[in-house]
């Protein structure tokens, strides 16, 4: 739809939940999560809704896609190895790489505007807090420490701030 709410168009038409849409940086593609193949998977489609392709194709939960600033890769959360961890995949579904590996749940990732860091939610501290690490998974650091759950981080366009909500 347009930013004023007009011209709303349904891009996906199936009985499954389609959610967590994320625009590619060039506006040509949209990544999203869908349960149409039986479990949550990450799909990529053209911005007009055509060419909907499952890029994760795994029975596990694959959720929260976020594009790299160069539009070449997508970071997402998956529990394919037992618990929710973060993975990066090329936009065509190739070159899957796990970037976190711990007993805590890591989820809701988002790439920094410069592509060098990823903010994400983790319960590594015993509670859902916002963490930041290198885009390769290096040097994860908790940046919030609240008794409430801190969720859904998103970077400011200049990369100097992170917005999130706390429950």
- How far is the C-alpha of 132 from the C-alpha of 2, rounded, in Å? 32
Closest by Cα among 101, 144, 140, 153 to 126: 144
What number is the average pLDDT over the span 81-109? 96
Q: Name the pTM for this structure.
A: 0.94
- How far is the C-alpha of 54 from the C-alpha of 36, rounded, in Å? 10
What was the pLDDT predicted at 101? 95
Q: What is the pLDDT of residues 22-46, one digit of tens each?
A: 999 999 999 999 999 889 999 999 9
């Amino acid at each position: 739809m347009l930013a004023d709410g007009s011209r709303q168009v349904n891009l996906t038409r199936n009985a499954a939940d389609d959610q967590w849409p994320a625009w590619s940086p060039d506006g040509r593609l949209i990544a999203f999560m869908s349960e149409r193949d039986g479990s949550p998977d990450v799909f990529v489609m053209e911005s007009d809704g055509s060419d909907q392709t499952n890029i994760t194709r795994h029975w596990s939960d694959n959720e929260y896609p976020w594009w790299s600033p160069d539009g070449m890769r997508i970071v997402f959360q998956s529990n394919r190895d037992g618990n929710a961890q973060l993975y990066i995949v090329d936009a065509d579904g190739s070159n899957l790489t796990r970037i976190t590996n711990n007993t805590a749940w890591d989820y809701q990732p988002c790439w920094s505007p410069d592509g060098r860091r990823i903010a994400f939610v983790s319960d590594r501290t015993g509670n859902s807090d916002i963490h930041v690490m290198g885009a390769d998974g290096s040097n994860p650091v908790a940046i919030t420490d609240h008794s409430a759950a801190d969720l859904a981080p998103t970077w400011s366009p200049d990369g100097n701030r992170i917005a999130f909500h706390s429950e």
